[in-house]
Homo-oligomer: A and B are copies of this chain.
Amino acid sequence: MSDPVRREGGAIDRLTALLSKLPGLGKKSAGRILYHILEGDPAYAKLLAVELARLHEAIRRCSLCGGFTETDPCPICADPDRDHGLICVVERPQDLRIIEESREFNGIFHVLGGLIAPLDGIGPDKLKIGELLNRVRRDGARELILAFNPTIEGDTTALYLQKILKDLGVEISRLASGLPVGGDLEYADKLTLSRSFRGRIKL
- A residues at B contact (CB < 8 Å): 1-2, 4-12, 14-15, 18-19, 21-25, 29, 31-33, 35-39, 42, 44-56, 58-59, 67-71, 74-76, 79, 81, 92-94, 97, 100-101, 103, 106
CB neighbours (8 Å) of A10 from chain B are 70
Smallest CB separation, A146 vs chain B (Å): 20
Query: How far does the Cβ of A203 sit from chain B's closest Cβ, in whole Å?
Result: 29
Q: Is the CB of A35 within 8 A of B103?
A: no
B18 x A42 contact (CB < 8 A): no
Task: Tell me whether A48 and B18 are in contact (CB under 8 A).
Answer: yes
- Nearest CB of B to A128, in Å: 14
A7's partner among B24, B25, B50, B100 (CB-CB below 8 A) is B100
CB-based contact A69/B8 at 8 Å: yes
Q: What's the nearest-Cβ distance from chain B to residue A132, in Å? A: 19
* CB contact between A8 and one of B2, B29, B55, B70 (< 8 Å): that residue: B70
Task: Name the B residues within 8 Å of A49 (CB-CB).
Answer: 48-50, 52-53
Tell whether A9 pairs with B59 under 8 Å between CB atoms, given A22-B33, A33-B23: yes
Identical chains bound together, number: 2
Q: Name the residue in A6, A35, A54, A55 with the highest tally of chain B Cβ atoms < 10 Å from its Cβ.
A: A55
What are 12 of the A-B contact pairs (CB < 8 Å)?
Answer: A11-B51, A11-B54, A12-B68, A15-B51, A23-B32, A23-B36, A38-B56, A38-B59, A42-B55, A45-B56, A48-B49, A52-B52
Q: Considering residues A19, A92, A106, which has the most beta carbons from chain B within 10 angstroms of its beta carbon? A: A19
In the complex formed, the residue of B with least CB distance to A54 is: B11
Q: Is the CB of A29 within 8 A of B24?
A: yes
CB distance from A130 to the nearest CB of B (A): 20
